[in-house]
Amino acid sequence: MALPDIQDQIDGRGIELDRVGIAGVEYPVRFNDGSSLHAGIATFDVTVTLPADRRGTHMSRMVEIIHDELQDLEPERLPQALKVAADRLDVDAVRVGIALPMAFMVAAPASRREAWQVCDVALEARLTAAGPELAVTVGADVMSLCPCSKAISDYGAHNQRSRVELTTYGQDEDVYPLDVASSFAMIRSVGSSPVFPIIKRPDERVVTMAAHDHPAFVEDMARDLSRACRERAVSHEVRVRNFESIHSHDAVASVAWSPRATDN
């Protein structure tokens, strides 16, 4: 006996829903970043725009899509996976959000001791009538030393850890204009010094003096990272937050840019 499919019932209220689907699905993935391969547990959100005449969507099919199309995750293939999802769910607009910590091996500056440095990665892929779009956000920490503090002090300067987030935007054929490894390296280059998982005494000396030689405001870090993206003609948004060491507040800066906006 065929079981009734309640989701496929006609809805007469005439209200389209912006997003309907599943959230917080944890699933093992292998992320191919082009030059490196990462494996881990990703967190998925899958939603669709539900037409006004449809009562519901088939959420179990969304988990099947994660299993069938997204376990081997390649950003360049996300548009194809979205089209498969749209066909299986019988909708025009699909969104997939993916959050996955990634680790890159880094070496301490003096001892050269290697260890894994973790960064946060989030992808938001969308398929709409306008075509596929992908936003990739990479978040990592750097060290920043205050230029003002250095200038006014007889010796020393206050410094702190800073959180830098870079979101890059791609669409159509150029859906993945900047890989995660490049974003991670660019973020680590804009502070007074990168941070390291292993710091021996010779490393601490190098990092401390390097930071003193390269003071940076949040404004400096935001501008330097944006400039690096502009040189690659990559649409992006930069967000920087200093966890201030001598203030009871944080300092923030952000900037967004698109080469398409400059063409107008």
> Which pLDDT tens digit goes with each residue over 88-123?
999 999 999 999 999 999 999 999 999 999 999 999
133's tokens: 């779009």
Tokens of 135: 């936003």
**Spatial separation of the C-alpha atoms in residues 56 and 64, rounded to whole Å:** 17
Q: How far is CA 238 from CA 51, 87, 243, in A?
A: 35, 35, 17
What are the residue ranges of helices labelled H in the chain?
59-69, 78-89, 147-152, 180-189, 201-213, 218-231, 259-262
pLDDT in the model for residue 236:
98
For 166-216, write each residue's pLDDT tens digit.
999 999 889 999 999 999 999 999 999 999 999 999 999 999 999 999 999
CA distance 33 to 84: 22
Domain 17-262 in CATH: superfamily? Urate Oxidase; (3.10.270.10)
Q: Are 85 and 126 in contact (CB under 8 A)?
A: no
Token pair 């021996």 is found at 200
Could you give the angle at which helices 59-69 and 78-89 cross, rounded to 10 degrees?
A: 150
Helix (H/G/I), strand (E/B), else coil: 108? coil
* 17-32 and 72-73 beta bridge pairing: parallel
Note the pTM of the prediction, 2 decimals.
0.92
- DSSP, res 3: P
pLDDT, tens digit, 9 for 90 and up, residues 66-91: 999 999 999 999 999 999 999 999 99
Contact 73, 98 (CB under 8 A): yes
Domain boundaries, the chain: 17-262
Contact yes or no for 147/227 (Cβ under 8 A):
no
